[in-house]
């Protein structure tokens, strides 16, 4: 178990904690056994539990995997006491790894983050975790702008559809992660009075404002992607209708010619069949009908 300390505050950071490590923490700090079970579960909902000696926080933080082009979520379990903060996670969050590394290497930053007690450090931790949402939303916005540029390219139809579906999946994932956590920070202000001074309420209000901005941005990109998908589907339907219109004109044009040539192909006597110019006359009639039909269709803007 890795630890960083400054004065009376200690930050324990456990990556993929084992049952034995959690048992040691339970014995050392007196954590409730249900909280230990929550740390071992994979899909615990975000929540805050308040006890006499500590509070237990469960957060879900998204992260992007470029190889799979998908957003995943990682559960971060946080125990906050009077002189300690314990974080438990799987190690996929760059923001947590970076913060740990910087505090390990920079004594001055460690003093700034850990020197003012658990309240200020809890703010720094939650603020950095929720701020990591913004780059993911910005990336969705960049993808939307790119999508607008290729939306009506014929050769990009499959690519556009794939991008639309990937963006919708990312937006749905982000909304599913953020929605239950909109009340987490608000509840944290009221349930952490033992460890968070009242003067820090304004800091947690700032985190709450960031979450609300993120939700508003997700609402906007959700509306944009739905509008782009509707536009793309309307464009496809219009192009399909145009294609069917052209095919219908050619079908109607060729049908009489097919009937006539099929009729005379059944050993039926051809008028003036003995005349050498009879075939040429029939061919000219058929060609005249074909040209007339095509010209009329073009004049009516069916082609």
Burial class (CB in 10 A: 0-12, 13-18, 19+), 178: buried
- Residue-by-residue DSSP string for 274-291: TSTTHHHHHHHHHHHHHH
| pLDDT digit string, tens, across residues 229-250 | 888 888 888 878 878 877 887 7
Q: How many CB atoms lie within 10 A of CB 152?
A: 13
Distance CA 212, CA 219 (A): 10
pLDDT given for residue 87 in this prediction: 94
Q: pLDDT at residue 283 above 80? A: no
Distance CA 238, CA 240 (A): 5
| pLDDT digit string, tens, across residues 91-125 | 899 999 999 999 888 888 888 888 888 888 888 89
Please name the CATH architecture into which domain 2-237 falls: 2-Layer Sandwich (3.30)
Distance CA 288, CA 282 (A): 10
pLDDT given for residue 208 in this prediction: 84
Fill in the DSSP letter of residue 155: G
End-to-end CA distance of the chain: 74
Domain ranges for the chain: 2-237, 252-299
- Which of the residue ranges 228-232, 248-252, 299-303 would you say has the lowest mean pLDDT? 299-303
pTM for the whole thing? 0.75
Q: Tell me the three state secondary structure of residue 184.
A: helix
Nearest partner of 221 among 129, 149, 147, 130, judged by Cα? 147
Which tokens go with 134? 């913004």
């Amino acid at each position: 178990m890795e630890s960083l300390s400054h004065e009376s505050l200690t930050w324990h950071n456990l990556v993929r904690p084992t049952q034995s490590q959690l048992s040691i923490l339970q014995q050392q700090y007196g954590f409730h056994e249900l909280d230990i079970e929550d740390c071992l579960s994979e899909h615990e909902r975000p929540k805050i539990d308040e006890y006499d000696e500590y509070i237990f926080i469960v957060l879900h933080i998204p992260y992007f995997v470029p190889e799979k082009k998908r957003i995943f979520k990682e559960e971060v379990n946080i125990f906050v006491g009077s002189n300690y903060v314990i974080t438990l996670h799987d190690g996929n969050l760059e923001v947590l790894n970076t913060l740990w590394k910087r505090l390990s290497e920079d004594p001055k930053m460690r003093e700034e983050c850990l020197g003012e007690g658990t309240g200020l450090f809890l703010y720094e931790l939650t603020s950095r975790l929720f701020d990591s949402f913004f780059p993911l939303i910005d990336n969705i916005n960049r993808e939307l702008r790119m999508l607008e540029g290729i939306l009506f390219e014929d050769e990009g139809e499959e690519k556009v559809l794939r991008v639309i579906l990937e963006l919708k999946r990312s937006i749905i994932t982000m909304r599913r992660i953020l929605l239950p956590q909109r009340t987490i920070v608000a509840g944290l202000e009221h349930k952490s009075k033992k460890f968070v001074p009242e003067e820090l309420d304004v800091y947690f209000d700032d985190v709450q404002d960031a979450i609300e901005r993120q939700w508003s941005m997700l609402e906007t990109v959700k509306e944009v992607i739905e509008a782009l998908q509707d536009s793309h589907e309307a464009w496809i339907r219009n192009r399909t209708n145009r294609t069917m219109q052209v095919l219908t004109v050619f079908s109607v044009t060729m049908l009489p010619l097919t009937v006539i040539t099929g009729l005379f192909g059944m050993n039926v006597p051809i008028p003036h069949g003995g005349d050498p110019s009879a075939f040429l006359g029939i061919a000219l009639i058929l060609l005249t009908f074909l040209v007339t039909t095509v010209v009329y269709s073009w004049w009516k803007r069916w082609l």
